[in-house]
Structure 1
Amino acid sequence: MPADVLVVGAGPAALAIAAALLEQGLTVEALAAADPEAPWANTYGIWGPEVDAQGLEALLGHRWSDTRSDFGAALTPGAVEPGVVAHGIDYGLFDKTRLQQHWLEQCRAGGLRWHRGLAAAIRHGALQSTVTTQEGLELSARLVVDASGHQPVFVQRPDDGPVAGQAAYGVVGTFSAPPVQPGQFVLMDYRCDHLTPEERLEPPTFLYAMDLGGGVFFVEETSLALAPPVPYDTLKQRLQRRLAHRGVQVLDVQHEEFCLFPMNLPLPDLGQQVVGFGGAASMVHPASGYMVGSLLRRAPDLAAAIAAGLRTPGLESASVARLAWAALWPLELRRKHALYRFGLEKLMRFPEAQLRAFFANFFAMPTAQWYGFLTNTLPLQQLIAAMLRLFVTAPWGVRWGLIEPRGRELALLGRLLWP
């Protein structure tokens, strides 16, 4: 008998949806290109209230209450010092091994069966789909969930123009002096006094940094989003210059992180028989780049929709997939996705000074608004209200950047009405 669901992938999205499907009592198999126990390379951050709402705070490796950003600007509302904004919300970094094992243990307890191989082809029948690997293995299931990442194996999405990537180069290690204050987390340090006037005309980058304790810090130079993305060599050189400008040298590198992921992917074809999840389903937040919180919130709802479809007598696999896609991307979320992509398209063209002014104004909004914006937890009407408030309170230079008609913004905004 074929499994109820075959999950393709072994990263956070694949494990999250596999565990949720097993919780529904479905039979689940998974296909992994590599060892599903292999350590994950990247780090995963999340706001404290997000992880608390899931009851998973024990999976955090670090948590900070002193969370702030520095925009190197004049005093802003709520600033604790010139240019510095205290966020007032905890931020956490997952212990990625603990997070991975949390999901793997749920999968083992639910009886998940792993297969190793590279997915190569798929054929669909009325009541099941069959995946063939490069090694010739055939795996059948009533539904296939592709959670293989931003460049999915099977999920199809339209070509919607240039894809903007958020790139980052980071270092975990020890330093000659603290790169940030002890016990502190810095979401964005947009100060650019280490750059020449000519370099400030180039795409802006910012520092994302945190104290990991025991004299160890994580510092990462990050670009918001750009098509094509900022090269790693540029990010590394900027990070070194930023640190040197403040009299800080790297003494020992324990880990280097190279991060690149798409920020403005269009939604997939919601009528296809393969269901996506995670990066394969364009679930990266187009404005903030976060996804793990969304995985935690949305996996149970998607799994419940899949289980309900599979338990409906005589319902064909294509119809189950349509129900699943509708649960993952309901109309309101599709409209919010369009709004976020519209906003990112604007910000990608902002020069350094305009971008700093925008974010200083953004974090001057009420906490519930900017937090809900970054976590994608505001209802649509409240999201629109937050964006209107941001526009009304912004400096004139920022306002003009937000209304200046250029490129494909109008087409993206049109998807608010016709997503």
Structure 2
Amino acid sequence: MAEPVDVLVLGGGPAALCVASELNQRGVSVAGIASDPVDAPWPNTYGIWADELKAVGLEQLLEHRWSDTVSFFGEGGSTAQDRSHAHGIDYGLFDRAVLQRHWLERADGVVWHQDTAERVELKGSTTLVSCASGTTMQARLVIDASGSRTHHIRRPDQGPVAGQAAYGVVGRFSKPPIEPDRFVLMDYRCDHLSETQRQEPPTFLYAMDLGDGVFFVEETSLALAPAVPYDVLQQRLQQRLDQRGVEITEVIHEEFCLFPMNLPLPDRRQPLLAFGGAASMVHPASGYMVGSLLRRGPDLAQALAEAITNPSLGSAALAQRGWQALWPLELVLRHQLYQFGLGRLMGFNEALLRTHFATFFALPRDEWFGFLTNTLPLPRLMSVMLRLFALAPWELRRGLVLGAPPSQSPTWTQSNG
């Protein structure tokens, strides 16, 4: 059996490195179990509003930053609605290697075991983790930060889990697929789609100019169960580029993303703690999580560091302290509000979604920014949702209250893919 530690972290991605580094900075004895080397390159890109990083003093982690940030909510073509909506706030893309190194340096001294945790069980006041290699590890507290697909964390079954899917290409093109030096958060223009495709669940373009003639273009869906298949997203991205007379001349990297948007909150009575996707920290309104890791990781680590100084607290008691710090009632209620809103949006067809987002981004900037980053206190969040309802046209109000009419609700079957 390996040397016991105070905290054992499962996983090697952003959530695992974040919580391990914060605990290590507070003098907690930490070890980790990751199936891959923790310094192996991360495959996916991570974007964030620059003001989120400014608030935690980490703007230096950005590789790219755009001031020209826009969305399109018209149908496309030459209509007046086709004009861009300027967001008026900077957006950034993390330098993945720098972000990873930032956390690894702060986790200096943490021993990472390349292995797979197969069984986690409470033994008296401690927790044992049995690994695929045959090794058993012991800790006063285990934190599962291995992602949303973990089988170690208990959570209620509340029906199908909706996934947000995306297919993207980093590459070079015959001509710029978007305006140079621009970031496009959402392009819902649909003039490249057939009438049949317009009846299917809508998708949008997320795109950015990476400089030196390289662009990232990604076709993305909102949450859906089952999720939109990758081949459909790839086809739609190709159609969108074809409509604009743009050809891909070099593929540098392909990106495939699928993450849960309405994963139920874990059972917070269990003696195993979670962080990141395993703790349902993906924002139901935006799909983002790294900003939340950076904001909530220090508070969780501080609560655990203080609790660990009490030698009488075992795994169950330490986990309870952790769950209370990670998911206080305020955040639970906010999460439930977001889940309700997501449930409504999942039933909206393409036209209603375009109307919704055009109305949403007409809110004052601090309100839509706070909504998308989950930084609004509960009373303010509720007032913003009421303001959105007041601004909405009648059809959108009806959808927000009752859901979309059955005849208008988009549907997706596997046969579409």
Same fold (TM over 0.5): yes
User: What amino acid does structure 2 have at the position aligned with 1:25?
Assistant: G
Report the CA distance shift for 1:406/1:354 in structure 2 as closer, same or farther (over 3 A): closer
* Matched residue, 1:15: 17
CA contact (8 A) 2:31 2:112 kept: yes
Deviation, 1:127, is 2.4
* Matched residue, 2:303: 305
Secondary structure of 1:243's counterpart equals helix
Question: CA offsets, 1:182-236, max 9 Å, x none?
Answer: 1000000000001112211100000000000001000000001100000000000
Q: 1:25 aligns with which of 11, 24, 27?
A: 27
User: What amino acid does structure 2 have at the position aligned with 1:63?
Assistant: R
Q: Size of the alignment, in residue pairs?
A: 400
Deviation, 1:405, is 5.6
Q: Distance in 2 between matches of 1:385 and 1:68?
A: 25
User: What amino acid does structure 2 have at the position aligned with 1:22?
Assistant: N
- Stretches of structure 2 that go unaligned for 5 or more consecutive residues are 406-417
Q: 2:359 aligns with which of 326, 339, 361?
A: 361
Q: Distance in 2 between matches of 1:406 and 1:393?
A: 18
Secondary structure of 2:195's counterpart equals coil
* Matched residue, 2:4: 2
Q: Distance in 2 between matches of 1:106 and 1:301?
A: 16
Deviation, 1:83, is 4.0
Q: 1:169 aligns with which of 148, 167, 170?
A: 167
Q: Distance in 2 between matches of 1:326 and 1:112?
A: 25
* Matched residue, 2:294: 296
Deviation, 1:261, is 0.4
Q: Distance in 1 between matches of 2:81 and 2:91?
A: 20
Q: Distance in 1 between matches of 2:403 and 2:360?
A: 21
* Matched residue, 1:148: 146
Map residues 373-392 of structure 1 onto 2, 5 A cutoff. 373-392=371-390
CA contact (8 A) 1:119 1:153 kept: no
Deviation, 1:82, is 4.3
Report the CA distance shift for 1:405/1:174 in structure 2 as closer, same or farther (over 3 A): closer
| Structure 1 residue ranges (4+ consecutive) displaced by more than 6 angstroms after TM superposition | none
* Matched residue, 1:132: 130
Deviation, 1:176, is 0.8
Deviation, 1:263, is 0.4
CA contact (8 A) 2:344 2:403 kept: no
Q: Distance in 1 between matches of 2:55 and 2:150?
A: 30
User: What amino acid does structure 2 have at the position aligned with 1:310?
Assistant: I
**Which moves more between the two structures, 282-291 or 34-43?**
34-43
Q: Distance in 2 between matches of 1:302 and 1:264?
A: 23
Q: Distance in 2 between matches of 1:81 and 1:68?
A: 14
* Matched residue, 1:279: 277
Q: Distance in 2 between matches of 1:251 and 1:356?
A: 31
Q: Distance in 2 between matches of 1:222 and 1:374?
A: 17
* Matched residue, 1:89: 89
Q: Distance in 2 between matches of 1:297 and 1:119?
A: 27
User: What amino acid does structure 1 have at the position aligned with 2:106?
Assistant: Q
Map residues 340-359 of structure 1 onto 2, 5 A cutoff. 340-359=338-357
Q: Distance in 2 between matches of 1:260 and 1:367?
A: 28
* Matched residue, 1:101: 101
Deviation, 1:126, is 3.2
Q: Distance in 1 between matches of 2:102 and 2:313?
A: 33
Question: CA offsets, 1:127-154, max 9 Å, x none?
Answer: 2111010111011111000000011141
CA contact (8 A) 2:158 2:264 kept: yes
Percentage of matched positions with identical amino acids: 61
Secondary structure of 1:136's counterpart equals coil
User: What amino acid does structure 2 have at the position aligned with 1:395?
Assistant: P
Report the CA distance shift for 1:308/1:126 in structure 2 as closer, same or farther (over 3 A): farther
User: What amino acid does structure 2 have at the position aligned with 1:67?
Assistant: T
User: What amino acid does structure 2 have at the position aligned with 1:213?
Assistant: G
Map residues 299-338 of structure 1 onto 2, 5 A cutoff. 299-338=297-336
Q: Distance in 1 between matches of 2:386 and 2:160?
A: 27
Question: CA offsets, 1:328-370, max 9 Å, x none?
Answer: 0000100010000100010011000000000000000000110
Matched, 1:339 2:341: no
Question: CA offsets, 1:56-104, max 9 Å, x none?
Answer: 1111110000001001169xxxxx9744210011000001111111111
Q: Distance in 1 between matches of 2:191 and 2:149?
A: 37
Deviation, 1:406, is 7.9
Q: Distance in 1 between matches of 2:15 and 2:273?
A: 13
User: What amino acid does structure 1 have at the position aligned with 2:191?
Assistant: D
Q: Distance in 2 between matches of 1:64 and 1:134?
A: 45
CA contact (8 A) 1:165 1:227 kept: yes
Map residues 195-210 of structure 1 onto 2, 5 A cutoff. 195-210=193-208
Secondary structure of 1:177's counterpart equals coil
User: What amino acid does structure 2 have at the position aligned with 1:29?
Assistant: A
* Matched residue, 1:411: none
CA contact (8 A) 2:141 2:315 kept: yes
Q: Distance in 1 between matches of 2:87 and 2:404?
A: 32
Secondary structure of 1:198's counterpart equals helix
* Matched residue, 2:256: 258
CA contact (8 A) 2:261 2:284 kept: yes
* Matched residue, 1:62: 64
Q: Distance in 2 between matches of 1:406 and 1:181?
A: 34
Deviation, 1:267, is 0.2
CA contact (8 A) 1:120 1:133 kept: yes
Secondary structure of 2:194's counterpart equals coil
Q: Distance in 1 between matches of 2:190 and 2:176?
A: 19
Q: Distance in 2 between matches of 1:265 and 1:83?
A: 35
CA contact (8 A) 2:25 2:107 kept: no
CA contact (8 A) 2:347 2:404 kept: no
